[in-house]
Amino acid sequence: MNYTAPVADIRFALEAAADLWSVRRGGAFADLDQDLLGAILEAAAALAGESLAPLNRVGDQTGVALSNGDVRTPPGFAAAYKEFANGGWLGLAADPAYGGQGLPRGVALAAMEMVHSANMSFGLLPLLSLGAIEAISTHGSPEQKQLYLAKLISGEWTGTMNLTEPQAGSDLGVLTTKAVPALDGAYRISGQKIFITWGEHDFTDNIIHLVLARIEGAPAGSKGLSLFIVPKFMLGADGRIGQRNAVRCVGLEEKLGIHASPTCVMAYEGATGWLIGEENKGLAAMFTMMNAARIGVGSQGVAVAEAAYQQALAYARERKQGGAVIIEHADIRRMLMTMKTKIQAARALCYAAALAADCGDHARESLLTPIAKAWSTDLGVEAASLGVQIHGGAGFIEEAGAAQFYRDARIAPIYEGTNGIQAIDLYHRKLLGDRGEAMRTLIAEARETADAFSHPQAARLGEAAVALAAATDYMLAAKRDDALAGAYPYLELAGDTLGGMLLAQGIMRASASSAAAKPILDEQNALLGFYAETVLARAPSRLAAIKLVAAALASADF
Amino acid sequence: MNYTAPVADIRFALEAAADLWSVRRGGAFADLDQDLLGAILEAAAALAGESLAPLNRVGDQTGVALSNGDVRTPPGFAAAYKEFANGGWLGLAADPAYGGQGLPRGVALAAMEMVHSANMSFGLLPLLSLGAIEAISTHGSPEQKQLYLAKLISGEWTGTMNLTEPQAGSDLGVLTTKAVPALDGAYRISGQKIFITWGEHDFTDNIIHLVLARIEGAPAGSKGLSLFIVPKFMLGADGRIGQRNAVRCVGLEEKLGIHASPTCVMAYEGATGWLIGEENKGLAAMFTMMNAARIGVGSQGVAVAEAAYQQALAYARERKQGGAVIIEHADIRRMLMTMKTKIQAARALCYAAALAADCGDHARESLLTPIAKAWSTDLGVEAASLGVQIHGGAGFIEEAGAAQFYRDARIAPIYEGTNGIQAIDLYHRKLLGDRGEAMRTLIAEARETADAFSHPQAARLGEAAVALAAATDYMLAAKRDDALAGAYPYLELAGDTLGGMLLAQGIMRASASSAAAKPILDEQNALLGFYAETVLARAPSRLAAIKLVAAALASADF
Q: Residue B500 in contact with residue B453, Cβ under 8 Å?
A: no
- State whether B169 and A393 contact (CB < 8 Å): yes
Selecting from B254, B388, B548 the residue whose C-beta is nearest the C-beta of A399 gives B254
Q: Residue A389 in contact with residue B414, Cβ under 8 Å?
A: yes
Nearest to B352 by CA among B464, B476, B438, B469: B438
Name which of A61, A121, A549, A557 to mutate to probe chain B: the one with the most chain B Cβ atoms within 10 A of its Cβ: A549
Selecting from B330, B337, B389 the residue whose C-beta is nearest the C-beta of A414 gives B389
Q: How far is A298 from chain B (nearest CA, A)?
A: 16
Contacts (Cβ under 8 Å, ≥6 apart) of B323: A171
CB-based contact, A322 to chain B, within 8 Å: yes
CB-based contact, A67 to chain B, within 8 Å: no
- Cβ burial of A153 (10 Å; 0-12, 13-18, 19+) is buried
Q: Residue B27 carries which side chain, given as an amino acid letter?
A: G
CB-based contact, B518 to chain A, within 8 Å: no
Residues in chain A within 8 Å Cβ distance of B420: 329, 331-332, 335, 389
Q: Residue A213 in contact with residue A273, Cβ under 8 Å?
A: yes
Selecting from B169, B541, B557 the residue whose C-beta is nearest the C-beta of A321 gives B169
Buried b (16+ CB within 10 A) or exposed e, B211-242: bbbbbeebeeebebbbbbbbbbbbbeeeeeee
Residues in chain B within 8 Å Cβ distance of A333: 485, 553, 556, 558
pLDDT < 70 stretches in chain B: 515-516
Q: What is the mean pLDDT of residues A333-343?
A: 97
Q: How far apart are CA B122 and CA B117, in angstroms?
A: 10
In chain A, the percentage of residues whose pLDDT exceeds 70 is 100
Q: Does the pLDDT of residue A422 top 90, yes or no?
A: yes
- Cβ burial of A504 (10 Å; 0-12, 13-18, 19+) is buried
Q: What is the CA radius of gyration of chain A?
A: 23
Give the pLDDT confidence score for residue B288 in this predicted structure. Answer: 80
Q: Does the pLDDT of residue A515 top 70, yes or no?
A: no
Nearest to A382 by CA among A421, A413, A355, A360: A413
Selecting from A330, A385, A545 the residue whose C-beta is nearest the C-beta of B533 gives A545
Give the pLDDT confidence score for residue B219 in this predicted structure. Answer: 94
Q: Residue A241: beta bridge partners?
A: A235
Question: Active site includes A416?
Answer: yes
pTM above 0.80, yes or no: yes
Q: How far is B483 from chain A (nearest CA, A)?
A: 9
Contacts (Cβ under 8 Å, ≥6 apart) of A501: A442, A445, A446, A449, A450, A461, A465
What is the four-CA torsion angle of A189, A194, A197, A203, rounded to 10 degrees?
A: 50
Q: How far apart are CA B128 and CA B197, in angstroms?
A: 8
Q: H-type helices in B202-329, by residue range?
A: 282-318
* pLDDT band at residue A286 under the 50/70/90 scheme: confident
Contacts (Cβ under 8 Å, ≥6 apart) of A515: none
Contacts (Cβ under 8 Å, ≥6 apart) of B62: B74, B75, B259, B260
Q: Give residues 233 to 262 of B whose Cβ lies within 8 Å of A.
A: 253-257
* pLDDT band at residue A173 under the 50/70/90 scheme: confident
Give the pLDDT confidence score for residue B2 in this predicted structure. Answer: 94
Contacts (Cβ under 8 Å, ≥6 apart) of B529: A551, A552, A555, B455, B456, B457
Strands B157-162, B206-215: pairing kind? parallel
In chain A, the percentage of residues whose pLDDT exceeds 90 is 90
Nearest to B126 by CA among B48, B71, B11: B48
Residues in chain A within 8 Å Cβ distance of B321: 169-171
Nearest to A349 by CA among A21, A522, A109, A517: A109
Selecting from A330, A419, A538 the residue whose C-beta is nearest the C-beta of B538 gives A538
The beta-strand segments (E) located in A339-387 are none
Q: Residue A424 carries which side chain, given as an amino acid letter?
A: I
Q: How far apart are CA A538 and CA A461, in angstroms?
A: 11
Q: How far is A395 from chain B (nearest CA, A)?
A: 9
* pLDDT band at residue A516 under the 50/70/90 scheme: low
* ipTM at complex level: 0.97
Size of the A and B interface in Cβ pairs below 8 Å? 250
- State whether A393 and B399 contact (CB < 8 Å): no
- State whether A414 and B321 contact (CB < 8 Å): no
Q: How far apart are CA B136 and CA A449, in angstroms?
A: 63
- Cβ burial of A519 (10 Å; 0-12, 13-18, 19+) is exposed
* pLDDT band at residue A323 under the 50/70/90 scheme: confident
Q: 3-class SS at B273?
A: strand
Q: How far apart are CA B315 and CA A368, in angstroms?
A: 31
Q: Residue A267: beta bridge partners?
A: A192, A248
Strands A320-321, A263-276: pairing kind? unpaired
Q: How far is B495 from chain A (nearest CA, A)?
A: 17
* pLDDT band at residue A100 under the 50/70/90 scheme: very high
Specify whether the backbone of B450 is left (phi greater than 0), alpha (psi in -120 to 50) or beta.
alpha
Q: Residue A207: beta bridge partners?
A: A158
Distances (CA, A) of A49 to A115, A316, B25, B33: 9, 21, 66, 65
Which one of A306, A416, A445, A448 is the catalytic residue? A416
Q: Give residues 139 to 158 of B whose Cβ lies within 8 Å of A.
A: none
pLDDT digits (tens, 9 = 90+) for B469-499: 999 999 999 999 999 999 999 999 999 999 9
DSSP code per residue over A145-175: IIIIIHHHHHTSSEEEEE---TTTTT-GGG-
Nearest to B449 by CA among B538, B362, B511, B372: B511
Give the pLDDT confidence score for residue B516 in this predicted structure. Answer: 65
Q: How far is B152 from chain A (nearest CA, A)?
A: 27
Strands A158-162, A207-215: pairing kind? parallel
Q: How far apart are CA A493 and CA A469, in angstroms?
A: 10
